[in-house]
Amino acid sequence: MTAAANVQERRSDLGETLEALKEQRQKTLSAYCGLVGVTSPDQVDSQGPKDIAPVALQELLNIMVDYMAMGHFTVYQRIIEGKERRGAVKEAAEVAYPGIGETTDVMVEFNDAYENFDGADADQEKIKEDLSKLGEMLAIRGELEDEIINALLG
């Protein structure tokens, strides 16, 4: 394979990987919105959020863990290991990684706290507060990822 063909293949693979990451992010956001009873970011429920169902929560946790792993092992690992040579990508990563790390910490803590959630009434208020924080972290993570994705594609 020629060097040009090799570069073209790597770019194609990268594009597919980034699309898969964005699809996994969308699945996570869809599961999150379904769990909290929101159909769009603009929707406001005047009656407040519904009770959180354990089965739906487990679905969100499974999808969210896959999303975090995909980002780390398919996109970020190459940059973390210093294999990325493009300056724009390294600069975007330097800016975005601290925030991505923070969002990862919150997502992992949420997963650990609620992996055995049984839906008890006593836990409903706390999980709703934590879901609100998680939603903010998902939004921040998406913005930061987009910075890195744009640099990788640019």
- Residue 9 sits in which domain range? 3-38+49-153
Picking from 52, 44, 50, 146, the residue whose alpha carbon sits closest to that of residue 100 is 146
Q: Please report whether residue 8 resides in a domain.
A: yes
Residue 136 has pLDDT above 90, yes or no: yes
For the entire predicted model, the pTM comes to 0.86
Q: How many domains does the chain have?
A: 1
Q: Please report whether residue 43 resides in a domain.
A: no
pLDDT tens for 82-107 read: 888 889 998 999 999 999 999 999 99
Residues with Cβ within 8 Å of 65's Cβ and at least 6 positions away in sequence, in order, are 111
User: CA end-to-end span of the chain, whole Å?
Assistant: 24
Q: Would you state the structure tokens that stand for residue 107, as one six-digit string? A: 């997502």
Burial classification of residue 71, based on how many CB atoms lie within 10 Å of its CB (0-12 exposed, 13-18 middle, 19 or more buried): buried
Q: Which of 6-15, 71-80, 144-153 is most confident?
A: 144-153
Q: Please report whether residue 72 resides in a domain.
A: yes
Q: Using CA atoms, how far apart are residues 24 and 62, in angstroms rounded to an integer?
A: 11
Q: Please report whether residue 99 resides in a domain.
A: yes
Picking from 30, 32, 134, 16, the residue whose alpha carbon sits closest to that of residue 75 is 16
Q: Would you state the structure tokens that stand for residue 132, as one six-digit string? A: 């609100």
- State residue 64's pLDDT score: 97
- State residue 72's pLDDT score: 87
Picking from 65, 57, 53, 81, the residue whose alpha carbon sits closest to that of residue 24 is 65
Q: Using CA atoms, how far apart are residues 98 and 101, in angstroms rounded to an integer?
A: 5
Q: Please report whether residue 100 resides in a domain.
A: yes
Q: Would you state the structure tokens that stand for residue 91, as one six-digit string? A: 């600069």
Residues with Cβ within 8 Å of 103's Cβ and at least 6 positions away in sequence, in order, are 137, 138, 140, 141, 144
What CATH number corresponds to the domain at position 82?
1.20.120.1370
pLDDT tens for 21-76 read: 999 999 999 999 999 988 665 665 545 568 899 999 999 999 999 999 999 888 88
Q: Please report whether residue 44 resides in a domain.
A: no
Q: Please report whether residue 58 resides in a domain.
A: yes
Q: Using CA atoms, how far apart are residues 18 and 115, in angstroms rounded to an integer?
A: 28
